């Protein structure tokens, strides 16, 4: 029986994939016939650890380091991938959160901080998406084959989140960017979609949310009373990356345990 989620040998680039949700997406892609999974992370050793997992399971992967907020570095990374493995056919903009080195100011009321703090959040969550898309799209068009661009956003960008105003703004901006990209690239059989996630059980979130009582209060807002698992997100991303979804574009899919609904 054929695999409806087969990636047909496409080269895939997953940003921020050295841990958490990105790692699981990379593993999913490798297990479903990606020609090569380029595992990006700001820290090369984290990316290499995921590559070692993938190759140990018989998949094909390469570790690539770049800061997604640096357009020059992103373009160099994409060229390196294309020269060695072929043009990128699937891009997953997963790198995000409060920047590479989150500071306590990221959790202060935004009116008590300023552009230095705001720009770190906007840089990785919005400009990082724009940078990676701009570096990948020319080669994706030149492939003259179906392509997929998927951006991981947050329910903060759909529903709003107290205390995360600049983060919510950046994620909402990324989703709006993806809708416009979808309109531009549809003629080339390239789709562009977003996946909005909520509280997900990752190593980073475990460090930030270590208070059991607070965690209980958070989960009371979820119809399915548990945190998401990276697999929950990776399943949706794989679907959108595969040939199972050729007529879906410009959409934002919540994977959020019922935290909020989409019309």
- On the 0-12 / 13-18 / 19+ scale of CB atoms within 10 A, 250 is middle
Q: How far apart are CA 33 and CA 27, in angstroms?
A: 11
Q: Are 28 and 234 in contact (CB under 8 A)?
A: yes
Q: How is residue 76 annotated by DSSP?
A: H
Q: How far apart are CA 134 and CA 243, in angstroms?
A: 23
Q: How many CA atoms lie within 13 A of 103 on its CB side?
A: 11
Q: Are 80 and 64 in contact (CB under 8 A)?
A: yes
Give me the catalytic one of 85, 167, 222, 253.
Answer: 167
Is 85 known to be catalytic? Answer: no
Contacts of 116 (CB under 8 A, 6+ apart): none
Q: How far apart are CA 178 and CA 193, in angstroms?
A: 6
Q: What is the dihedral of CA 204, 228, 45, 55, to 10 degrees?
A: 170
Active site residues: 167
């Amino acid at each position: 029986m054929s695999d409806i989620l087969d990636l047909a040998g496409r080269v895939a680039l997953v940003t921020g994939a050295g841990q958490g949700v990105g790692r699981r997406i990379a593993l999913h892609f490798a297990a479903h016939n990606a020609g090569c999974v380029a595992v990006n992370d700001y820290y090369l050793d984290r990316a290499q650890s995921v590559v070692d997992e993938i190759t140990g399971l018989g998949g094909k992967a390469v570790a690539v380091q770049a800061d997604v907020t640096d357009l020059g570095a992103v373009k160099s990374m994409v060229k390196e991938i294309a020269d060695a493995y072929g043009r990128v056919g699937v891009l997953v903009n997963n790198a995000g959160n409060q920047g590479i080195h989150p500071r306590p100011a990221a959790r202060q009321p935004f009116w008590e901080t300023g552009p230095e703090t705001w720009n770190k959040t906007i840089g990785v969550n919005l400009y990082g998406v724009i940078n990676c898309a701009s570096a990948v799209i020319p080669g994706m068009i030149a492939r003259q084959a179906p392509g997929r661009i998927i951006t991981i956003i947050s329910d903060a960008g759909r529903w709003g989140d107290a205390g995360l105003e600049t983060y919510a703004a950046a994620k909402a901006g990324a989703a709006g960017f993806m809708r416009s990209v979808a309109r531009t690239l549809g003629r080339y059989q390239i789709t562009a979609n977003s996946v909005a996630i909520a509280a997900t059980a990752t190593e980073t979130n475990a460090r930030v949310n270590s208070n059991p009582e607070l965690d209980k209060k958070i989960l009371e807002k979820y119809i399915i009373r548990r945190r998401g698992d990276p697999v929950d997100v990776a399943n949706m991303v794989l679907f959108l990356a595969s040939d199972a979804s050729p007529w879906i574009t410009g959409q934002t899919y919540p994977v959020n345990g019922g935290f909020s609904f989409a019309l």
